[in-house]
Amino acid sequence: RRLVDRADEWERLGKGKGGLLDEVELAEAGRWLSSPDAEELGYDKTLLELIEASDRAIQEAKERAEAARQLELQLRQEKLEEERKARKAAQRTTIATAVTAVSVIALLVIGVFTREQWIQQRYSQITKDFSIGQARPELLPIAKEFRQKADSLKKTGKLTEALANYRVVLTFTNLLKEQAEQQSRAFPVDRATINEMARDAESAIAELIQAHQLLQLKGELKAKPPRFGKLKDSINLIDFENQFEKGALRTTYAILMRGYGAKADLNDDGLLTTSNEASQMPCQTLKEIEELWRQATQKRCGWYDKLTNSAYGNGSSPCSELGGQTLTEVVFNTPYNAAIERLNSCGIAPRPLNPNG
């Protein structure tokens, strides 16, 4: 009865952020829905909507917390870099007299202190806002710094580090785009610049994945016989790619969900539940994976069932290699909505796939 009352209260508040369940309450609601009491007493769709909205809000909060952690990491890296430069400068300086030495050291300390203060002031409020889902316009120049660093790392052959930095750029620009859409004219940022940076970051991520990670997938799918792999008998969501035996399925999962590739699972819960997470998967990469799987299975297997134009095979699709399921069903876990929406936005299927089956 208490859950029903919470659903009624949430509906009265306009079905917004007010009145949502926290993680403990959400777990309790899940247990109740699975109990005989739920079947006996019944419940309406408002309760299900409340549970879905609460789960979505919790996942988004976790994503923002992870992005805020990335900002804090950038702050620490800048501090360490400034300290390193300061130490090198001090080592190179030749001091003629004790007075000069004292003066130089004093100036150096003041300079480092001022720099650290500036960094703190610059990032502290941005980080705080980011963690609660509010992007400040100042996030744009930070994203530009990450892009410059990524470009530099790519040129020097540090491709893993470059990929990580491009992912941060994509996360930040996606959040800025979302904030700009919500606040419209009240958000003073150059939307054209944000969109361009997001496209460039997505393209760079796809390019790096194509040149390296996809080679492994291609080798597994073109082997004689193909090394498809399969889900293990006993799995846990946080086993991540280790839910699968070695083979193409494990590699596909790692390319999309883990730091090996696009890292769409921003909060490391083994799920893809929000549009922000799904947007981390480059369209080009999704299309290339689709093509590789189709080629390896005589067009039977891919993100959707070609006979029904559905993301669900439900055990009866022509893809015998995946037990009659689609790649969407095997690689991702329920709910599939965010993944299917991304597949649709990328134009994977000739017609939009229905998230509900």
**Cis check: omega of the bond before 225, within 30 degrees of 0:** yes
Q: Domain check: are 158 and 275 in the same one? A: no
Residue 98 domain flag: no
What pLDDT was estimated at residue 2?
78
Does residue 106 sit within a domain?
Answer: no
> Secondary structure of 69-112 in the HEC alphabet?
HHHHHHHHHHHHHHHHHHHHHHHHCCCCCHHHHHHHHHHHHHHH
Number of structural domains (the chain) is 3
Residues 203 and 220 in one domain: no
Q: Are residues 171 and 258 in the same domain?
A: no
For the cut 50, the answer to whether the pLDDT of residue 97 exceeds it is: no
239: containing domain: 213-345
Listed residues 192, 208, 224: the one ending a domain: 208
Model pLDDT for residues 122-147, shown as the tens digit of each residue: 445 555 555 555 556 677 888 888 89
Identify the CA nearest to 248 among candidates 329, 333, 322: 322
The CATH number linked to 176 is: 1.20.58
pLDDT at position 294, please? Answer: 97
Q: First CA to last CA across the chain, in angstroms?
A: 31
**Helix, strand, or coil (residue 223):** coil
* Tokens representing residue 60 in the block: 């988004």
- Of 248, 273, 276, 244, give the one whose Cα is nearest residue 337: 273
Q: Which residues contact 285 (CB under 8 A, 6 or more apart)?
A: 205, 206, 209, 210, 214, 255, 256, 261, 262
**Are 167 and 265 in the same domain?**
no
Asked if the structure places residue 353 within a domain, the reply is no
Across 55-64, 74-83, 263-272, 285-294, least confident range? 74-83
Look at residue 112 and tell me if it is in a domain: no
Q: What is the pLDDT of residues 165-220, one digit of tens each?
A: 999 899 888 888 877 777 666 666 678 888 899 999 999 999 999 988 999 999 99
80 in a structural domain: no
Q: Has residue 83 got a pLDDT over 70?
A: no
Q: Among 66-70, 100-104, 287-291, name the one with the lowest average pLDDT.
A: 100-104
- Residue 177 DSSP SS3: helix
In a shared domain, residues 182 and 234 = no
């790392």: which residue's tokens? 153
C-beta neighbour count of 63 within 10 angstroms: 22
Residue 14 inside a domain? The answer is yes
Same domain, 141 and 197: yes
229 in the same domain as 173: no
User: In this structure, what are the phi and psi dihedrals at residue 239, rounded to the nearest 5 degrees?
Assistant: -80, -10
The per-residue pLDDT of the chain, averaged, comes to 80
Are residues 322 and 338 both part of a single domain? yes
Q: What percent of the chain has pLDDT over 90?
A: 39
Q: Residue 74: its pLDDT value, please? A: 64
User: What is residue 178's predicted lDDT score, i.e. its pLDDT?
Assistant: 79
Average pLDDT over residues 57-73: 69
Distance CA(269)–CA(335), nearest Å, equals: 13
Q: Structure tokens of 168?
A: 């941060």
pLDDT of residue 350: 92
Residue 132, domain member (yes or no): no
Of 24-38, 89-103, 234-248, least confident by mean pLDDT is 89-103
DSSP class per residue in 226-239:
-----B-SS--GGG
Asked if 157 and 277 sit in the same domain, the reply is: no
Q: Are 241 and 323 contained in the same domain? A: yes
Is the pTM value of this prediction over 0.85? no
Q: Mark whether 204 and 217 lie in a shared domain.
A: no
pLDDT category of residue 64 using cuts at 50, 70 and 90? low
Using the structure block, give the residue that is written with the tokens 């991702």: 332
Least confident of 40-44, 73-77, 180-184, 197-201: 73-77
Q: Band the pLDDT of 355: cuts 50, 70, 90.
A: confident
- Asked if the model's pLDDT at residue 93 lies above 70, the reply is no
Phi and psi at 244, nearest 5°, equal -110, 150
Sign of the dihedral defined by the CA atoms of residues 264, 266, 267, 273, in that order: negative
Q: Calculate mean pLDDT across residues 215-237.
A: 90
Q: Is the pLDDT of residue 114 over 60?
A: no
- More confident position, 311 or 57: 311
Q: What's residue 172's pLDDT?
A: 85
Q: For residue 53, is it left (φ>0), alpha (ψ between -120 and 50) or beta? A: alpha
Tokens of 169: 């750029």
- What's the CA gap between 103 and 106, in Å, rounded? 5
Q: Answer yes or no: do 271 and 222 share one domain.
A: yes
Note whether residue 126 is domain-resident.
no
